[in-house]
Amino acid sequence: MPSTSDLSAGRFARLLLVALIVVTIALLAWQIVDVMLLVFGAVLLAVMLRRSADWLAERTPLSDGWALAAVVLGSIVVLGLCAWMFGAQVSEQVDQLVQVVPQAWESVRQFLQGSSWGRGVLETVEQFDPSSVSGGVVREASSLLMTVVGGLGNVLLLVAGGVYLAAQPNLYRDGVVMLVPREAEDRTRDTLDKMGDALGKWLKGQFLAMVMVGTMVSLGLWLLGVPSALALGLLAGLGEFVPLVGAVATAIPALLAASTVDMTTVLYVLVLYIVIQQIEGNVIMPIIQSEMVSLAPALALFAVVAFGLLFGILGVIFATPLTVVAYVAVKKLYVEVGLGKKDTGEEPS
C-alpha cells in the first residue's frame, strides 16, 4: 500500500505537470495572439450571421442552412449596392480628404507659430516626427493604405472562418465542451451560450449606434459646408465601434478639414461633435442599452487602453467585445461557481 508521502509526491508531480502544460499553452497562445484575435473576429462575424439567419428562419419557411445562405448572399448584395451607389463619391471624398489634411495642418502650424504657447505645442507634436509634419501625414496615410492592402488576406480568412462558424456553431461549441471535465460540461456549455447571447446583443446595439452617429455627422458636416462630409461621417460611424477613443480620433480629421474653410467653421464642427457625443451618450445609448448589452464607460475606456497596450491595433478594435466575453466568463465561472452567488440575470453594466 503506498505511503502518505508517496501519495503527496504523486499529487505534487501531477499538479506540476498541469502547471507546466498551462504555462506552455499560455506561451504558445501569446506567440500567435494575432491569429487568436482574428479567430475572435471570426466569432463576432459568426454571431452576427447566425443571429440574422435565426431571425430570418423564424419568419420564413427557410431552413437554418438556407437562411444563413440567404443572409450571406444578401450581405454581399447590399455591400455591392452600397459600393455601386456611394463608392465613387466616397472614394473621391477620401482622395480629397488626403489632400486637404496636409494643407489644413500647414494652416494650423502657421497659426501655432504666431504665439509662444503655440510654438511649444508645435515642438511637442513635431517630436513624434522630426521631419515635416504635413509630409508625415501623407506618409502615414500611405503606410495605412499599404497595411490595409496587406491585411486583405487576413480579412478573407476572417470572413471565411466566420461563415464556417456560423454554419455549424454547435459543432465548435461541443468541441470546446469536450475539453473540460465531465462535471463541468453543462456549466461550460451554458457559459458559451451566454457569451454568444451577450455578443449578439452588443453587436446589434453597436451597429445601430454606428449608423445613427455616422448619419448625424455626415448631415451636420454637410450643412456646415465642410469638405468630404460623407467620408468623414463614414469614418465617424466606423469609429463608434471603439467607444470613446474612436469618437476622439475621428473628430481630428474633421477639425482639420474644417480649418480649410475658416476658424469659425472649426469651432462649429467642434461643437457639432460634442453635441453628437452628448446625444449618443445620453439619448441613443441608454435607449439601445435598455434592450441590449451595456458596459460602464470607464470600464470600456480602460479595456481599450489595456487591450491596446497588450495586443496593438487589433486589441483596440476588439477591446469592447472581448470585455463583454470576459464579463460573462467571470460572472458564470467565478461569481456563480467560485463565490456561490446567485445569477441575477443582468447583462454587463
Which whole number is the average pLDDT over 297-306? 80
Give the 3-state secondary structure of residue 243: coil
Instruction: Judge whether residue 163 has pLDDT over 70.
Output: yes
Q: How far apart are CA 241 and CA 250, in angstroms?
A: 11
Report the sign of the C-alpha dihedral through residues 127, 131, 135, 139, in that order.
Answer: negative
On the question of pLDDT at 146 being above 60, the answer is: no
- Residue 132 has what pLDDT? 43
Amino acid (one-letter) located at 76: I
Give the Cα separation of 348 and 194 in Å (integer): 12
Find the mean pLDDT for residues 252-259: 83
For range 164-177, the mean pLDDT: 87
**Would you state the pLDDT for residue 137?**
43
DSSP string, 99-161: HHHHHHHHHHHHHHTTSHHHHHHHHHHHTT-SS-HHHHHHHHHHHHHHHHHHTHHHHHHHHHH
Buried b (16+ CB within 10 A) or exposed e, 280-315: beeebbeebbeebbbbeeeebbebbeebbeebeebb
Q: Rounded CA gap, 161 and 199, in Å?
A: 17
pLDDT at residue number 141: 45
Give tens-digit pLDDT for 110-119.
Answer: 666 766 666 6
The pLDDT of residue 126 is 57
Query: pLDDT tens across 178-224, in order?
Result: 888 888 888 888 888 888 888 888 888 888 888 999 999 999 999 99
Name which of 29, 75, 87, 32 is nearest 50 in CA terms: 75
Using CA atoms, how far residue 93 sits from 143, 259, 334, in Å, is: 19, 16, 50
pLDDT bin (cut points 50, 70, 90) of residue 135 is very low
pLDDT digits (tens, 9 = 90+) for 66-105: 899 999 898 888 888 777 766 666 666 666 666 666 666 6
The total of other beta-carbon atoms located within 10 Å of residue 196's CB is: 19
Task: Retrieve residue 5's grid coordinates.
Answer: 508521502
The pLDDT assigned to 123 comes to 65
The total of other beta-carbon atoms located within 10 Å of residue 261's CB is 16
Lowest average pLDDT, out of 26-40, 42-56, 172-186, goes to 26-40
